[in-house]
Amino acid sequence: MAELRVMGEEIRKKLLDIGLIPKQKEHSINIEEGKISYGFGYPITGLEKFLGYFDKQFNIAYFPSISYLTDLSVTYSACMYTSETGSDSVVLDGRTDESYNRRSLKAINYIKDLYGIKGSLHFYLKRKKRYSDAKGLGESASVAASASRSAISCIFGKDGLEDNPFVSRFARLVSGSGTRSVSGSISMWISYPSIRESESYGFPLNLDHKKMHFAVYPYPADFPTENAHDMAHSSPGYNGWVKEKFQRMLDYSETGFYLEGLIERSQKDMFSMHSLLMYSGNMVLNSGSISLIEKMRKFRLKNEGNIVYTADTGPSISVISDDKKLLSQFLEENPGSIEGKIPDQAVVQIPQWFTKEAEDYFGKLRS
């Protein structure tokens, strides 16, 4: 762990020196009874994958990671403050989800303790997906980012909401990947053993995301990501994977981040990560995704160009290329995909239907 901490601190210093890691600001509490604030969040897909928490209390990862945003779904969140104590609540898609409720309440309690906030925070969240059922498409990141935005806005107002490192830090407490969902198009999350909690957050990389094209083949599964963190860490190959990660991150911090290289890396890192999970007897891919990978192998033998496939902790497969025509050719030959794009987050309008739903819900909650 000492070696990883030293390497992590070296990476962080280099990235600070070149101005990639932005600083957080100080914010004053601006909270009032019945105040409702809103947020949104997009899912992510890993380029340099993440799996395994060094510190589960604060969701500190063993190593830094890199991902890109997708528009395959979006989560909207509303947060209301009440002065009544001990009644914090989280409703996701019309019901209380045990996993998200536990993770959200952990984050809520930490923020309240850190800033001496009395009273309760209530969340109403809704996911809108472009697919019916799929696993491995980064939904937990979108939930975390959305909840953090609405909470920070409710507690600290506009100034807090506009401080992305600050919002990213608290999204991490719900889901580590939420750090990168907050940070933007293609972003990195700085994390390593014994990093200060306040210094572990996401930030954007200066890469032209419009040169990256992708589509997803969604496949369902019943493989929970939370379990995957422990499963991967129990593999004898985990330490080697982590050390390789640090060396590549050091190389990136010294020579720069290149989109083409990150795209290629996403495929190789998928197999590295999945091999760790297979040690515990869990096959992440299913027959559909394995069949698609075989079709991609044959396609690449016949066609030149940079086109790859990748997957996170689910069987859903993302196909990525910096050549839109090449990607379109593959999609035409292999139907069943959903084409995506990396969204811009400068201005996201919270839809009127959601604000009405949230106001109706909070009205019933207070009556």
Nearest to 310 by CA among 53, 137, 64, 71: 137
Residue 218 has pLDDT above 80, yes or no: yes
Listed in sequence order, the residues at least 6 apart from 118 whose beta carbon sits closer than 8 Å to its beta carbon are 83, 85, 112
φ, ψ dihedrals at 198, nearest 5°: -70, -15
Average pLDDT, the chain: 93
At residue 40, φ and ψ (nearest 5 deg) are: -145, 165
Please report the pLDDT score of residue 92 as a whole number.
95
Q: Which of 124, 128, 139, 126 lies closest to 91 in space, CA to CA?
A: 124
DSSP string, 84-109: -SS--EEEETTB--HHHHHHHHHHHH
- Into which CATH architecture does domain 2-366 fall? 2-Layer Sandwich (3.30)
Across the range 295-316, mean pLDDT stands at 94
Greatest extent of the chain over all pairs of C-alpha atoms, in Å: 65
Integer Cα distance of 37 and 152 in angstroms? 9
- CA nearest 228: which of 159, 308, 169, 284? 284
134 versus 351: which is more confidently predicted? Answer: 351
pLDDT computed for residue 171 by the predictor: 97
Question: According to the model, what pLDDT value does residue 224 have?
Answer: 59
Q: At what angle do helices 259-279 and 225-233 cross, to 10 degrees?
A: 80
If pLDDT is split at 50, 70 and 90, which confidence band does 98 have? confident
Of 203, 139, 141, 204, the C-alpha closest to 173 is: 141
Strand duo 89-92 + 120-129: pairing = parallel
Question: Which tokens belong to 63?
Answer: 């190593």
- 270 CA to centre of own chain: 16
Closest by CA to 129, choosing from 76, 71, 73, 45, is 73
Instruction: Quote the pLDDT of residue 188.
Output: 98
Q: How far is CA 138 from CA 54, 146, 157, 223, 261, in A?
A: 20, 13, 27, 13, 22
Q: DSSP state, 209?
A: G
Statement: residue 261 has pLDDT above 90 = yes
- The answer on pLDDT for 225 being more than 60 is no
**pLDDT value for 347:** 65
Is-above-0.85 flag for pTM? Answer: yes
Residue 263 has pLDDT above 60, yes or no: yes
Return the closest-CA partner of residue 209 out of 156, 263, 167.
Answer: 263
Q: Is pLDDT of 330 > 90? A: yes
Tens digits of residue pLDDT in 155-190: 999 999 999 999 999 999 999 999 999 998 999 999
Q: Predicted confidence band at 223 (pLDDT cuts at 50, 70, 90)?
A: low
